[in-house]
């Protein structure tokens, strides 16, 4: 898929993605809306309270910060030395795994979009389409 925005807009987008106050979830929602998907937010009665859900498709998306959810092999997910943080972050990761399994047991599929992946929007778009299937309409 070719980039439909100018170089200037692209660099603005990249800067906004990297800026601290840009919420990754908002970026993913904008991408999904742009692609024509219809979704719901924070389904509280589902395991792990996924950030974005597609009820008809029974698919859920988690948008995770690399550090807080210990993205494997990611430069932003360096495990701190402190025992307190080690436990907290290891617990977070274990909770994420349990949520994905619990969703599967209910017949739901889930995927995770990592914060660092948003630097390459094209890849995120492909990941979303592969996971969700084509948008209706
Ligand atoms: Zn990462």
CB 68 within 8 A of CB 92: yes
CA of residue 67 to ligand 1 center, whole Å: 7
- Of 76, 72, 73, 65, nearest in space to 23 by CA: 65
Q: What is the pLDDT of residue 3?
A: 65
Can you list the alpha helix ranges (DSSP code H) found in the chain?
Answer: 7-18, 24-35, 83-105, 121-132
Output phi, psi for 76, to 5 deg: -85, 0
The number of beta carbons lying within 10 Å of the beta carbon of residue 43 is 18
Q: What is the pLDDT of residue 21?
A: 44
Q: What is the pLDDT of residue 20?
A: 46
Q: Give the residue ranges of the chain where pLDDT is below 50.
A: 19-21
CA of residue 137 to ligand 1 center, whole Å: 33
Give residue-wise pLDDT tens across range 84-113: 999 999 999 999 999 999 999 999 999 999
Measured CA to CA, the distance from residue 11 to residue 19 in angstroms comes to 12
CA of residue 116 to ligand 1 center, whole Å: 4
CA of residue 62 to ligand 1 center, whole Å: 13
Beta bridge partners of 125: none
CA of residue 60 to ligand 1 center, whole Å: 19
């Amino acid at each position: 898929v070719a980039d439909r925005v100018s170089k200037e807009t692209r660099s603005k987008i990249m800067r906004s993605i990297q800026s601290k106050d840009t919420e990754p979830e908002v970026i993913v929602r904008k991408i999904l809306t742009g692609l024509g998907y219809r979704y719901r937010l924070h389904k509280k009665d589902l395991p792990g309270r996924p950030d974005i859900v597609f009820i008809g498709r029974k698919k859920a998306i988690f948008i995770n910060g690399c550090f807080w959810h210990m993205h494997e092999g990611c430069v932003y997910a360096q495990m701190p030395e402190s025992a307190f943080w080690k436990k907290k972050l290891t617990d977070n990761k274990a909770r994420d795994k349990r949520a994905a399994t619990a969703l599967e047991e209910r017949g739901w599929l889930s995927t995770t979009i990592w914060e660092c992946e948003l630097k390459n929007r094209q890849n995120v778009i492909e990941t979303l389409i592969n996971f969700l299937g084509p948008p209706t309409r």
